[in-house]
């Protein structure tokens, strides 16, 4: 099922042409700071499976000194973050699930960086949670791992 989404003002619209490979709920302090919230929910998908239907996005570099590059793609009008590119790979996007038209249809597959989660948030018992990160080989489906390898190469 194709999902559509966009920014708050409607100037940007996009479509996901496949289901996400994996969905992370990230509780790191960078995500908390960048979203002004307790966490962000990111749906990982190949850039080729994201079609921009309307508008253009503004790339904003939010890389901390000495850390991996991180670009957030925002609507130039309302400034809403629509997706991120961690590592400036340009082939893998982290879609901000809250920008989807039906964001509640997508649930996190894992909670990451829970070591810095806000104390009042209770993690769901049936969703894997990790103080830092997880072993993708153990958590991702075979199809998702194959899709990731197809765009990033083996062992990356």
Specify the pLDDT at position 155: 65
Q: Phi and psi (nearest 5°) for 152?
A: -110, -15
The list of the chain residues with pLDDT below 50 reads none
Query: In this predicted model, what pLDDT tens digit does every residue of 49-63 receive, in sequence order?
Result: 999 999 999 999 988
Specify the pLDDT at position 1: 63
Cβ burial of 67 (10 Å; 0-12, 13-18, 19+) is exposed
Specify the pLDDT at position 63: 80
Specify the pLDDT at position 148: 95
Specify the pLDDT at position 156: 63
Q: Phi and psi (nearest 5°) for 98?
A: -65, -15
Architecture of domain 3-152: Alpha-Beta Complex (3.90)
Specify the pLDDT at position 69: 86
Alpha-carbon distance 26 to 73, whole Å?
18
Specify the pLDDT at position 121: 95
pTM of the model: 0.92
Specify the pLDDT at position 64: 74
Are 134 and 113 in contact by the 8 Å Cβ rule? The answer is no
The neighbouring-strand residues paired with 71 are 61, 85
Domain ranges of the chain: 3-152
CA neighbor of 34 nearest in space, from 60, 57, 8, 6: 60
């Amino acid at each position: 099922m194709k999902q559509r989404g966009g920014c708050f003002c409607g100037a940007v619209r996009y479509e996901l042409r496949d289901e996400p490979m994996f969905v992370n709920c990230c509780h790191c302090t960078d995500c908390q700071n960048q979203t002004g919230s307790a966490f962000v929910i990111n749906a990982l998908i190949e850039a080729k499976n994201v079609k921009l239907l309307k508008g253009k996005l503004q790339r904003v570099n939010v890389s901390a000194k000495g850390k991996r590059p991180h670009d957030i793609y925002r609507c130039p009008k309302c400034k809403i973050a629509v997706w991120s590119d961690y590592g400036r790979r340009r082939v893998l996007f982290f879609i901000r699930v809250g920008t989807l038209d039906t964001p509640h249809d997508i649930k996190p597959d894992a909670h990451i960086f829970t070591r810095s989660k806000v104390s009042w948030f209770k993690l769901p018992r049936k969703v894997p949670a990790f103080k830092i990160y997880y072993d993708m080989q153990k958590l991702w489906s075979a199809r998702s791992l194959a899709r990731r390898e197809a765009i990033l190469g083996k062992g990356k």
